[in-house]
Each structure stands twice: as C-alpha cells, then as structure tokens.
Structure 1
Amino acid sequence: MNTIKLNNVLPHVFSQRTDLKSEVWKHELSFEKGQLYLVEAMSGTGKSTLCSYILGYRQDFSGQLTFDDKDTQQFSVSNWVDIRKKHISHLFQELRLFSELTAMENVQIKNRLTDFKTEKQINEWFEMLDIADKTNTKIGRMSFGQQQRVALIRALVQPFDFLFADEPISHLDDHNSSIMGEIMMKEAHKQGAGVIITSIGKHMQLNYDKTFRL
C-alpha cells in the first residue's frame, strides 16, 4: 500500500455542523508511504473517529476513503484482516493490552502471527525503553507510561506500510518520548513506511513532512 486518500470525508455525526474548521474533514488529502504526518486535534473534532475509519472499524461517513485508489467501503472482512496484519499497524490511544498477560506475552501474541521479529530484537527494544525488568510483569501491574512503551513494541512486530500512532506519548516524560520516537522512526524507515501521529497537545518532537489540523 502506497497511499491513503480522503476525498471529502465527513462523519455522519458532523453532517449538520456549519462551524467545522478542519484541514481533514471535507477536504482532499493523502498520506503517502515513507512520509511523516502529525494530525493535531482538539477534543471532540473526531480524532478517534478518523482512526476508526482508517482501520476499518467504522464506515459511518460520506465521501470516499481509498487505499491505492481502492474504495475501502467495498472491502470485505478478509480484506481488512489482511490490511491490519500486513499493511497498517496501529498504536491505540487506549492501548488495548491484555491486563492478565505479561508485557512479553502481549508483544508475542501479535508477533507469532507473522514471526516478523526475533526475540533478540524485541528484548533490545525493552532494554532501550527501560522496561527490560518488566518483560514478565503482568500489564495490570504496570504504570500507564510503561504500558505505552509495551504497546509501541507490539505495534512494531509486524510488517506495515503505515504506522498509525494515536497519542503515543501522553503519559511519557521527554526522555522516554525521545527514545520512543527514535525507535519508531528507525523501524518505519527500515520498512519504508509512512507514519501518522495524532495529538491533542503533547507530541513527539520529530521532523514532520506535513501537519494537518483536524
């Protein structure tokens, strides 16, 4: 997948609003593979909704969303499964980790779908993110900031053309945010992937190719 395009996309819930001042909704824009994007938003402007559209969890919108000029509203369930497994990786704002599993188990449950990363690489990421001592700790006993770092590792253990990171550093200090950004961008460059980061305030200090205000 090389391009994600939005053509006059507008959530149905916003259809009666006349006060939208968005650079995304009701516009034509594209996300290109290999580029880095920041989507800045205020609460209530549809950030989570945008994530849901690109991941195929919701389709309650007018306009057209395409992947390489293919209309996503025509995709089957198997199409979406393939996309989420091989083409788009998502770091969820709410993380969606399994609290009863350990940090390593949460990562490996995804890695085993494709055997994309070695255990050595995964352990190196845990070390770099200063959570090497938490690999066998259950997620439910870790802080939210520690969980965010685990969620990043999980997002990277699959092939992807685009990485969608939804508020990835909301609970991290500047030091860990910087390390997280370095790891994320190194893997994205290695895969030649595009990266889309959303934020309602604090965001990674990276060299963005384009910023959109939602």
Structure 2
Amino acid sequence: MQIQLENLVPVPLRDKILQRSSDIWNRQLAFPPGSFIKIKAPSGTGKTTLVHYLYNIRTDYTGQVLVNGQPWSTYSRSSVATLRQEQISVIFQDLRVFEQLTALENIELKRVMNANPYCTAEKVNEMAAHLKVTHVLNQSGKTLSYGERQRVAIIRALVQPFQWLIMDEPFSHLDEENAQRAAALIAEECKVRKAGFILTDLDNDTRFAYDIHYNL
C-alpha cells in the first residue's frame, strides 16, 4: 500500500505551519512500504491532525493524501471501509475504547470484522498475556485504567490485517517496561506481515529500529 503526501497543509494551522520548517507539511514525499517511520512532533504542530488525515477522518486541508496513487477524496465510502479493514490500522491518541463493552469485546470488534479473521482467539490471548492485560479482558472498558486501555487498543489494532499501522503517541500512559513489551510486539507483528508503521510522538526514543525520522 502506497501512501504519499502532496503539499499537505492543515487549514486550521496554515499560518502557524508556514512560518516554520517541517519535513511533512507542504512537502512532496512518499512513505516507503514496510518502513518503520518516526515523526517527532512538538505540541501544537498537528500531530493528531496528521493521523486523522492519513486515516481519512478529517479533510480540512489543502494539498492531497494519496493512497495507492489516488487522493482519498476519490474513494467511495465502501472502498475506504475496505482499506481500513484490510490494509491500514490505527491507534488513536484518545484510544476510542468503548466503555460499554468489555476489553475483549473491544478487541473482537476488529478481529471478527473479516469473514476469515486474521488472528485466532488463541493469538489474542497470547497478545494479552504478553502485554499483561489478561486479567482485565472481561472487565468493561469504563473500569480500565488508561494504561490498560492503551494496551487493549494496541492489541485491537494488531488483530486485523494491515500493511500500514498508524500510531499516535501509543505508549504515552505506559511505564518503560510495558512500553518496551508493546513495542516488541508491534515490531514482531509488522515484520511478520512485512508491514510498515508511522508513529508520531513528542520526543525521541529508541524502542524501534526506525528506518526514517521526520520532524513535523
């Protein structure tokens, strides 16, 4: 799956962004498939906005986001839904864990989306054990700590097929041990699938062997 940016600029941040240097905004670039990409993004530079543009849930920008050579605007709703089910997965900064569902039900929403689920139920249990959230799988989302929600959201993103994983501060509420565990699981899953990821965060880190670094 090819992702390209053509002079992308968020309309709400336009004046602020054009006054500073960025490796992303108002540039022409392509993200090489299968690459591990880190985007360091200081507060207020549009980190979450970029994630929303890449996942096509906001369109308040000039320029274009091209997916497989076509602008998001040319895709039908059903085509966008298919891409989200089969080629692109996301971990939002606000996690979007449904509080009325159990942790396991939140994960299963993604796992059973396809007629032939990518991951088995056993694989889900393995991921939960690796990230130390087995004990909360049957608890409702509203009872989970933010760190538990973050780990559940990571598992949910990994149980579907994808060629690109987009992550917005995926370890912000994890201690270093749990962050390292989560990073190792993400790297393993991406390598097995020959998939790439785009990770936005505020700071530098050494949790992954990044192929490319950008400053937003």
Q: Which residue of 1 aligns with 2:188?
A: 186
The 8 Å contact of residues 103 and 136 in structure 1, kept in 2 or not, is answered as yes
Q: Which residue of 1 aligns with 2:136?
A: 134
Matched AA of 1:4:
I
Separation in 1, partners of 2:26, 2:49? 14
The 8 Å contact of residues 40 and 204 in structure 2, kept in 1 or not, is answered as no
Separation in 1, partners of 2:159, 2:213? 27
> Is 2:78 the partner of 1:78?
yes
Change (3 A) 1:195 1:187: same
Q: Which residue of 2 aligns with 1:15?
A: 14
Displacement after TM superposition at 1:203 (Å):
4.7
Separation in 2, partners of 1:4, 1:144? 31
Residue identity over aligned pairs, in percent, reads: 35
Instruction: Indicate the SS of the match to 1:93.
Output: coil
TM-score scaled by length of structure 1: 0.95
Q: Which residue of 2 aligns with 1:29?
A: 29
Q: Unpaired segments of 5 or more residues in structure 1?
A: none
Instruction: Indicate the SS of the match to 2:12.
Output: helix
Instruction: Indicate the SS of the match to 1:113.
Output: coil
The 8 Å contact of residues 162 and 196 in structure 1, kept in 2 or not, is answered as yes
Q: Unpaired segments of 5 or more residues in structure 2?
A: none
The 8 Å contact of residues 177 and 204 in structure 1, kept in 2 or not, is answered as no
Separation in 2, partners of 1:14, 1:120? 45
Separation in 1, partners of 2:204, 2:150? 14
Instruction: Indicate the SS of the match to 2:112.
Output: helix
In the TM superposition, what whole-angstrom CA distance separates every residue of 1:22-66 from its partner, at most 9, and x where no partner exists? Answer: 110011121122110001111111111111111111122111211
Equivalent residue pairs, number: 213
Q: Which residue of 1 aligns with 2:168?
A: 166
More displaced 10-residue stretch of structure 1: 14-23 or 96-105:
14-23
Instruction: Indicate the SS of the match to 1:145.
Output: helix
The 8 Å contact of residues 8 and 63 in structure 1, kept in 2 or not, is answered as yes
Separation in 1, partners of 2:150, 2:213? 23
Instruction: Indicate the SS of the match to 1:16.
Output: helix
Instruction: Indicate the SS of the match to 2:166.
Output: strand
Instruction: Indicate the SS of the match to 2:37.
Output: strand
Instruction: Indicate the SS of the match to 1:163.
Output: strand
| 1:59-208 correspondence runs (5 A) | 59-114=59-114, 115-201=117-203, 203=205, 205-208=207-210
More displaced 10-residue stretch of structure 1: 14-23 or 158-167:
14-23
In the TM superposition, what whole-angstrom CA distance separates every residue of 1:178-204 from its partner, at most 9, and x where no partner exists? Answer: 110111111111111111111013656
Instruction: Indicate the SS of the match to 1:124.
Output: helix
Displacement after TM superposition at 1:15 (Å):
3.1
The 8 Å contact of residues 169 and 202 in structure 1, kept in 2 or not, is answered as no
TM-score scaled by length of structure 2: 0.94
Separation in 1, partners of 2:97, 2:25? 30
Separation in 2, partners of 1:148, 1:24? 26
The 8 Å contact of residues 181 and 204 in structure 1, kept in 2 or not, is answered as no
